[in-house]
A and B are shown apart, each in its own frame.
Chain A
């Protein structure tokens, strides 16, 4: 069997919740070895986050933790102790990559900032993912996912202009940090091929959002004074109908990029009389009667399900889509045909379904070989078998609260 794409790469994760864990999950799912470092006793906060089967909290049954930490080895280590820091550095001596998402000041206080780690292992790539980044006046500010998204201008065009701007749920700022962390780490890996040296990779969640989600419209602002505007459930005013509309069992998105899309849709739904009104048969005047037209449109939509409308649009190749709920995703024939969901057996949580591959590689496919680790599950394997600690030494470290 051909080796996996990232086989041979050794990654250490010192982080929690979402951004660092999803970043290393992407690497683990392509064959990198990931050792996840958790605080003894308490572990990653995602273990307490849920969701839980039947809503009964259990640190080994948190849906978020189980999903984000498959394929990883799990060890406990109290990095806030001098001994813990020494042991982490021992691990990093042999590692290619460290991914962490701690506040920059904490990393400095623990003696784990890049200049220190560079001494330990000049080949180490240290990827740090934070809401604001490692530089700039806000670098030591407190930030949650919400703050990163908002500073990044994510909500500029999201929501009702008369209400608060919206952000993407759940925690999409952290996921943006994660995927950009994985991408940028690969750049550093390639750089290392030429130089033989590692480096610090600085991923700021607000910046990846500002640039990649929203940044392309800055020339319009500079030269035309344009700013992004919120238009509630409607898309930008230039096209019509364009937006998300209520239907019988949920919502449907419609984007009339070309007038023939609308004409085809009207035909498909039996050419109702209101649609023949001259106001609505001219692409340019239609937008002037947006409210009226929407009322007519929705009066038809609310009598039909997402599936019915979806089928019509699919047959006629209209770029109008049903808004899938998680239930729709779980039952999706498309995702089933793609074998998108995977079943993983976990020693405590049992067999559960999980989201699968972000993309398919033909020679080195994405795969899950092991479930998320129990807290400290691989302490023996990593400390004894690899670092050569005796069982006695491990017991000592445990008693002293280091492991």
Chain B
């Protein structure tokens, strides 16, 4: 029997509430897993290698092209007011406070979050997570909490790399191609970037790291309980897509909220 729209709305509301509750409990278990012993430091190192070192090339090219575009666009806009000397300041502030944390998080969500979600989803549907439970091994301590910790370490570091490479990209475009004075590029950057700006970028990168690892790993973990995901390989594929979309949107929404609150 087809449900009326009010009933369908109620169903969706209940589902969203259940899902949020499930996600909150998952986050709590993930944090608790970090404090349970013996903690798997080796797994953390492997994950840092996968998330951090493995993403370096992607981050390098994204940062370089973003910085160079900012250099060109910034020069074009600032030259209209005769303020080319402010290029270093504009590029650095944009990258440190905004584009560095956001683009790094989006790239990592696409590259690592999807892989993480698919890996955990496959472990769930092939009963590997049930097997861990039945061996009295806490799956959170064993492999989920190390992913959280590795992401919280790697993403801020990747963001720092992004910022530095992006600023160099801006320098290449602004100074090397458009003829802005090297001194004014660096001087402008030094005088305008404050500790508060850097703190904002660091806070953002920690929050984004948490959002990406939380949403992507939890979607995989709950693959059998996600409405409309179906079963088997298809469910993993759908949930992986959903994880990347949700985490990317969350990063953008929280970017606005954090900017509004902390700026």
Q: Do A and B come from one complex?
A: no
User: B residues within 8 Å of A by Cβ?
Assistant: none
User: A residues within 8 Å of B by Cβ?
Assistant: none
